[in-house]
Structure 1
Amino acid sequence: MDALMKRRSDLRLLLMQIRTEAKVCDEEHRSFASYSGLAPEQIDILNVFQTPTFSPGAAAGYDALLVGGASEANVLEPARYPFVHQCEKLLRHVVTTSLPTFASCFGFQLAVLALGGRIEHREEGFEMGTLAIRLAEAAREDPLLHDTPDGFAAVSVHRQYAAQVPSGCERLAFTEQCVHALRVSGKPFWAFQFHPEVDRATLVERLTHYRDHYTEDAGHLEQVLTTAQETPESNGLMRKFVDRILLS
Structure 2
Amino acid sequence: MKPFLIIQLRPEDEAADEEYAALLARSGLTAAETRRIRLDQQALPALSLEAYSGVIVGGGPGCVSDAPEDKDPLEARIEADILSLMPEITRRDMPYMGCCYGLGILAKHLGGEVSKARYGEPIGAVECRLTENGAADPLMAGLPRDFKAFVGHKEAVQALPPGAVHLARSDLCPYQMIRAGKNLYATQFHPEADSASFVMRIDIYRHRGYFAPEEADALKANVQAEEVTVPERMLRAFVGRYRG
> In the TM superposition, what is the alpha-carbon distance from 1:232 to its structure 2 partner?
0.8
Matches within 5 A, 1:77-226: 77=66, 79=68, 80=71, 81-121=76-116, 126-178=121-173, 179-185=175-181, 187-213=182-208, 214-218=210-214, 220-226=215-221
CA offsets, 1:148-206, max 9 Å, x none?
Answer: 22331111111010122211110000112221100113x21110010000011111111
Match among 46, 52, 56 for residue 66 of structure 1 = 56
Q: TM-score, normalised by structure 1?
A: 0.86
Q: Structure 2: state its 5+ residue gaps.
A: none
Please give the root-mean-square deviation of Cα atoms over the aligned residues, in Å: 2.1
Q: Identity of aligned pairs, percent?
A: 26
Matches within 5 A, 1:13-28: 13-28=4-19
Total equivalences in the alignment:
234
Q: Distance in 1 between matches of 2:200 and 2:213?
A: 16
Relative distance call for 1:33 and 1:125 in structure 2 (3 A) is closer
> In the TM superposition, what is the alpha-carbon distance from 1:77 to its structure 2 partner?
3.5
Q: Distance in 2 between matches of 1:58 and 1:193?
A: 27
> In the TM superposition, what is the alpha-carbon distance from 1:100 to its structure 2 partner?
0.9
The answer to which structure, 1 or 2, has the higher relative contact order (CA under 8 A, 6+ apart) is 2
CA offsets, 1:73-120, max 9 Å, x none?
Answer: 221237330342332231221121122111100001000001110101
Matching residue of 1:243:
240
Conserved? CA contact 2:106–2:186, under 8 Å: yes
Q: Find the residue that maps to 1:235 and give its secondary structure.
A: helix
Conserved? CA contact 1:139–1:146, under 8 Å: no
Q: Find the residue that maps to 1:132 and give its secondary structure.
A: strand
Q: Structure 1: state its 5+ residue gaps.
A: 1-9
> In the TM superposition, what is the alpha-carbon distance from 1:125 to its structure 2 partner?
6.5
Relative distance call for 1:221 and 1:91 in structure 2 (3 A) is same
> In the TM superposition, what is the alpha-carbon distance from 1:141 to its structure 2 partner?
1.2
Q: Distance in 1 between matches of 2:56 and 2:154?
A: 21
Q: Distance in 1 between matches of 2:200 and 2:132?
A: 34
Q: Find the residue that maps to 1:134 and give its secondary structure.
A: strand
Q: TM-score, normalised by structure 2?
A: 0.87
> In the TM superposition, what is the alpha-carbon distance from 1:26 to its structure 2 partner?
1.2
Conserved? CA contact 2:2–2:53, under 8 Å: yes
Q: Partner letter of residue 33 of structure 2?
A: Q
Q: Partner letter of residue 127 of structure 1?
A: P
CA offsets, 1:42-101, max 9 Å, x none?
Answer: 22122222334555x554411110000002x22123733034233223122112112211
Conserved? CA contact 1:92–1:115, under 8 Å: no
CA offsets, 1:212-233, max 9 Å, x none?
Answer: 2222133x22332222212110
